[in-house]
Amino acid sequence: MSSDSSSPQSSAVINEAVQSLRDGGLVAFPTETVYGLGADAKNPEAIKKVFAAKGRPSNHPLIVHVAAPDKFDQAQVDWVPVLAPWVRDISEDALKLMHAFWPGPLTLVFKKDKSVPLEATGGQDTVAIRAPAHPLAQELLRKFKGGIVGPSANRFGKVSPTSAADVRSEFEGMLDLMILDGGDCKVGIESTIIDLSSGDRAVLLRPGLITPGEILAKTGIHVYLPGESIQAKEGGDLPRVSGSLRAHYAPTTPLRMYSPGRVLDALSEFPDIKSRVAVAVWDSDSSLGDDGHPSVHFEEMVVPSDSTAFASRLYRSLRDLDQQGWDLILFPEPPTGEEWDGVRDRLQRACFGSGPSSSSHASN
pLDDT, averaged in runs of 10, over the chain (364 residues): 49 95 97 98 97 93 94 74 95 96 97 96 96 96 97 94 96 92 96 93 96 97 83 64 81 92 77 79 74 70 95 96 93 96 95 71 38
Residue 17 and residue 23 in contact, taking contact as beta carbons nearer than 8 Å: no
Confirm if 109 and 205 have CB atoms less than 8 A apart: yes
Helix (H, G, I), strand (E, B) or coil at 94: helix
Give the per-residue pLDDT at 286: 67
- List Cβ<8 Å contacts ≥24 apart for 333-338: 333/257, 333/258, 333/259, 333/260, 334/307, 334/310, 337/307, 338/207, 338/211, 338/212, 338/213
Rounded distance between C-alpha atoms, residue 362 and residue 364, angstroms: 6
What is the Cα–Cα distance from 166 to 35, expressed in whole angstroms? 9
Per-residue buried b or exposed e for 151-174, using 16+ beta carbons within 10 Å of the residue's own CB: bbbbebbbbbbbbbebbbebbeeb
How many other β-carbons are positioned within 10 Å of the β-carbon of residue 239?
A: 22
237, 56 Cβ separation under 8 angstroms: no
* CA-closest candidate to residue 283, choices 332, 227, 353, 348: 332
Within 10 angstroms of residue 234's Cβ, the number of other Cβ atoms is 8
How high is the pLDDT of residue 159? Answer: 95
Q: Which of 133, 144, 165, 151 is CA-nearest to residue 68?
A: 133
Q: With contact defined as beta carbons under 8 Å apart, do 320 and 299 qualify?
A: no
Give the start-end residues of each E strand in the chain: 2-4, 27-29, 36-40, 63-65, 106-111, 126-130, 148-149, 178-181, 192-195, 202-206, 223-224, 255-258, 276-282, 297-303, 328-332
Q: How many CB atoms lie within 10 A of CB 175?
A: 7
Helix (H) or strand (E) holding 46: helix 44-54
* pLDDT score recorded for residue 5: 43
Residue 236: per-residue pLDDT: 62
- DSSP label at residue 140: H
Q: What confidence score (pLDDT) does residue 75 get?
A: 66
